Amino acid sequence: MAEDGRRLELFTVVPARALVVVAHPDDGDFLAASVLAAWVRQGTRATVCVVTDGDAGSDDPTLPPGALARTRLAEQRAASAQLGVDDVRCLDFPDGMLENTLAVRRAVVRVLRQVRPDVVVTMDPSRYWFDRGYLNHPDHRAAGAATLDAVFPSARDARAFPELLREERLEPHKTRYVLLGAAADDDIAVPITAEDLEAKLRALGEHRSQFDAHDMAPWVWERAREVGLRSGVELAEPYRLFDLAPGPSQREEPGPAAGAEVLVGDPPAPPRPTTDWG
């Protein structure tokens, strides 16, 4: 058990299909790059979906509209390629103005029904701050909230956004697991390898318009080791888990992917603030 006393259950499901939904290009690589690298290495087909166009991510007022969005989408594709992920989608909502509207939820429902993931990774919509020095971006909260609302109930219900079924033949889809990243009350850890962590650093290094990733390696390694200590492995990434297992009336739903396995550790302790993600 780590010095903070919180033990994390180990989450060892390797999904057949995984979907990461985040607000901006680069968020997904902070949130899940090493885990995507680990899953893809084991056969997962993964999709990264960015909800905004990222066009506000600069202090340069002379940039023409759309120029930065194009740069950042190219950076996200290059970053995801470092993880073996070639399915990158942008929903093109305006950066900096994202709200959890029905239009955003509908766009995420469309992706959920197209990708049909076993696991969705998204951002904790409950987080307004991380510590004294960092307020959470409202787009992060909105992307997380819209994704949770899309997973349940809208993607699952045939009568939600019925035109998606009628006009695009997108059948309802029920996602089994949701993982919230940068969560206020993380309770599971996904084991990763040093190779996966190096892939994450290469992915972060592709977001050149946003930051210089060279300084991040010590922080990224330290964090993965600390989470590993809390979960009994060398390296891991922390999340809050929701297991949306079929209820008694839905037993015809498919279960987890063949070979999937969840190791359950000690029950999670009460939440504590975390300060390690931006």
Residues that bind Zn ion (CB under 5 A): 23-24, 27
**Smallest gap from residue 168 Cβ to Zn ion (A):** 29
**Smallest gap from residue 174 Cβ to Zn ion (A):** 28
Which residues on neighbouring strands pair with residue 21, listed in sequence order? Answer: 49
**Smallest gap from residue 139 Cβ to Zn ion (A):** 6
**Smallest gap from residue 117 Cβ to Zn ion (A):** 21
**Smallest gap from residue 21 Cβ to Zn ion (A):** 12
For β-strands 87-93 and 45-52, DSSP reports them as: parallel
Do residues 15 and 220 lie in contact, with contact meaning Cβ atoms separated by under 8 Å? Answer: no
Burial class (CB within 10 angstroms; exposed 0-12, middle 13-18, buried 19+) of 237: buried
Following DSSP, what letter does each residue of 150-164 receive, concatenated? IIIIITT-TTSSHHH
**Smallest gap from residue 135 Cβ to Zn ion (A):** 12
**Smallest gap from residue 10 Cβ to Zn ion (A):** 28
Task: Give the contacts of 130 (CB within 8 A, at least 6 positions apart).
Answer: 136, 182, 273, 274, 275, 276, 277, 278
Nearer to Zn ion, 23 or 142 (CB): 23
Nearer to Zn ion, 98 or 164 (CB): 98
Nearer to Zn ion, 211 or 266 (CB): 211
Which residues on neighbouring strands pair with residue 135, listed in sequence order? Answer: 129
Distances (CA, A) of 110 to 59, 140, 160: 33, 20, 11
Nearer to Zn ion, 118 or 139 (CB): 139
Nearer to Zn ion, 144 or 238 (CB): 144
Q: Closest CB to Zn ion belongs to which residue?
A: 24
Nearer to Zn ion, 44 or 100 (CB): 100
Task: Give the contacts of 188 (CB within 8 A, at least 6 positions apart).
Answer: 8, 9, 10, 11, 179, 231, 238, 239, 240, 241
Closest alpha carbon to 20 in 131, 152, 143: 143
Nearer to Zn ion, 174 or 207 (CB): 207
Nearer to Zn ion, 27 or 186 (CB): 27
Q: Can you list the pairs that 130-135 forms with residues at least 24 positions away whose Cβ atoms lie under 8 Å?
A: 130/182, 130/273, 130/274, 130/275, 130/276, 130/277, 130/278, 131/273, 131/275, 134/275, 134/278
**Smallest gap from residue 211 Cβ to Zn ion (A):** 11
Would you state the structure tokens that stand for residue 50, as one six-digit string? 């960015």
Phi, psi of 129 (to 5 degrees): -155, 165
